[in-house]
Amino acid sequence: MDVDETSKPNEEKLLLVMLVGAPGSGKSTFCEEVMRSSTRPWVRVCQDIIKNGKAGNKAQCLSSAAEALKDGKNVFIDRCNLDREQRSGFTELGGPQIDVHAIVLDLPAKLCISRTVKRSGHEGNLQGGKAAAVVNRMLQKKELPTLSDGFNRITFCQTESDVKVAIDTYSALGPLDNLPYGCFGQKSKEAKVQVDIMKFFKKAEAPVVAESTENCSRNFTSQNNEMMDPCNKDIEIFSSNSDKANLEPMNVETISEGSTVSHGDNAFMGDVPTLAFPSISTSDFQFDHEKAAEIIVEKVAEFSNKLVNVRFVLVDLSRGSKILSLVKAKAAKKHLDPRKFFTHVGDITCLRSKGGLHCAVIANAANWRLKPGGGGVNAAIFKAAGPALESATKERAELLLPGNAVAVPLPSSSPLFTREGVTHVIHVLGPNMNPQRPDCLNNDYNKGCKILREAYTSLFETFASIVRTGTEQKSKRDADHGSEKSKKYKGSQDDVELNCTGTKVVNIDSSNKKSDGSLNKAWGSWAQALHQIAMHPEKHKDELLEISEDVVVLNDLYPKAKKHVLVLARTKGLDCLADVQNDHLHLLRRMHDVGLKWAEKFLHENASLVFRLGYHSAPSMRQLHLHVISQDFDSKHLKNKKHWNSFNTDFFRDSVAVIDEVSNYGKAILRDDDKLLSMELRCHRCRSAHPNIPRLKSHISSCKASFPTFLLQNGRLVRTQGEVNISS
């Protein structure tokens, strides 16, 4: 019988897959293996035999490929394709129904040469002694493909194990299966030649490439006919979205099974920082799936636009998960970039070993006591991580309030670290609609949705903080700082943990100064944001509260109190307080006056506020800036001990004291001391000690004690009565 046109299944999306690699890298074998086991129709276009079994040219390959695609067949381009010129033309064959992929067989040159020398009966007659010279010559001209060349997807294979995984991936593709777009597995974007072949002839050792720990399994979502990618160990995302923090992708090495890597050296063991997270409060907490899915997509969209070169993965153990289906549908409607956000069916504690998905940071739908047990994701993560996670969690916090998150670095002794490459677990607590659990909201979805939004915001901001910290750590490792002072900074934004070393007053040595007078310090690209605003305020008018010839004023991006603004100096060469000299005294007074003006404005709006003006001894952002911060410290961005202590110990230098020191001694006294940031948590009013941030916040919200005597002296506090102006 005739079939109505509308009832026909969707048409197959064809693939044109270009093999890129030196002779002996296994291109022909790759094609043969896939074609032997795939249910898709494939055609292999090989230049060595394109002309009736004899060698032909590129034009003939292009013609043959176009004809095969027109006939509805998938195509392998089996030629070396090692430079852009050789690849040009083939990418133009792509279109709405044709995806163009590249498989880069970037195997060690030693292996390729060995294969070509030993083989016989090769189609192109490249074998025997002459092969080594040919491989050498071709690799010297190698240009790695990029997505901007016109490819939808590029997979880099550095080991035979990587090749096997890629073969299995393409062999398993059904007619309606699609692979995520992006660049997978690239270890070094700069390297043009993997090994200097001439050195190889002199018995130089080839570099060691970390092997995959286990062949990846092939996972499918049956409901959506979309294949979960078993190859996406290391994705390099290319995004046009701007990022306020100017995040840089980290390029660090993958670890092999059983090895250990310190957090400082490898915050992420892949090209793109990845957060895997479960749905929060949708199962055990009985939260409405439709509402939860809407919030997930809303928050992912928000942070995908803020952060470049990161990716988010929503994970669920159930293949028929309702939340995954809802999120996928809503994400598609919002046109979220599938390279930056996708879903995955699998165990969040086995993403690398069983799913081939490398996520250095995973989220835990925790209980409020941050304890193991309770079933679900929380029990699974604590069990997989071992006792090390429970101990590390106790060091960070003992309880968690709904809508908040806390990051816990995993010790290298944890099985999740050594087996899965997980460096951090972020505990996050959402709202609860289950009457059998604490803090039930009794179906108050107005409050529930508010808390759930706060939970995802806190989760993603915490992840961003980890990324920024790891990025700056790598920048510091790669740079020659030129001074001991510069080694004391651990870069991050003001909401990221600060890390300083040395218990002493910092002396500014002229030998550590740049020609413009500023201290030699390697600032990560994200840490340049304030500098760019100060130097080019006209580009940031919408973000600024005030612009003048010598200063600009803006709200802190991650405020640590109800009111928290920054006064930025616009003078070149003033990166931080360590750069200030007697010549800058007038500028310091000007910054103080501007800060006072804004404090008084806020006091006019809310007379109950109290303000303090000051500088961090070792700031995380480049460009001298004064903090004007209310002393309520009522902010979801104030998350940990170092946040608190950076504003409530001698690490925070009062503006009036700095002006006095520069006036008398020609420089500010900087107490750059790691012990200050790791001190016990004490109330800034009554000085009582508290075990964690939630307890401290609960206390300070009701503490009515007077401020300590030293803060009441010399105009350190700005209140409705007693404002101080020292500009004269």
pLDDT tens for each residue of 89-145:
898 898 888 999 999 998 888 888 888 777 665 655 565 556 677 777 777 778 888
pTM exceeds cut of 0.75: no
d(CA 499, CA 263): 13
19 or 518: which leads in pLDDT: 19
Rounded to the nearest integer, the mean pLDDT of the chain is 77
pLDDT over 70 at 193, yes or no: no
Q: What is the dihedral of CA 598, 602, 608, 610, to 10 degrees?
A: -20
- Spatial CA neighbour of 26 closest among 117, 116, 131: 116
Q: In a 10 Å sphere around its CB, with 0-12 CB exposed, 13-18 middle and 19+ buried, how is residue 198 labelled?
A: exposed
**Using 50, 70 and 90 to split pLDDT, how confident is the model at 600?**
very high
Tell me the per-residue pLDDT of 309-354, one tens digit each, with 9 for 90 and over.
889 999 998 877 889 999 999 999 988 888 889 999 889 999 988 8
- Spatial CA neighbour of 571 closest among 593, 595, 586, 550: 550
What was the pLDDT predicted at 512? 38
Residue 552 CB contacts under 8 Å (≥ 6 apart), including other chains: 533, 534, 537, 544, 546, 567, 568, 570
What was the pLDDT predicted at 248? 29
d(CA 272, CA 234): 6
- Spatial CA neighbour of 274 closest among 245, 235, 246: 235
Tell me the per-residue pLDDT of 36-52, one tens digit each, with 9 for 90 and over.
888 899 999 998 888 88
Active-site residue, selected from the candidate residues 592, 616, 625, 684: 625
- CATH superfamily of the 2-106+144-191 domain: P-loop containing nucleotide triphosphate hydrolases (3.40.50.300)
Residue 719 CB contacts under 8 Å (≥ 6 apart), including other chains: 603, 609, 610, 611
d(CA 36, CA 25): 19
- CATH superfamily of the 495-719 domain: HIT-like (3.30.428.10)
Q: Where in the chain is the domain with CATH 3.40.50.300?
A: 2-106+144-191
Q: Where in the chain is the domain with CATH 3.30.428.10?
A: 495-719
Percent of the chain with pLDDT over 70: 75
H helix intervals, 520-616: 529-535, 585-605
Catalytic residue list contains 625: yes
Taking each helix axis from N to C terminus, what angle separates 641-648 and 693-700, rounded to the nearest 10 degrees? 50
- Mean pLDDT across 605-632: 94
pLDDT over 90 at 488, yes or no: no
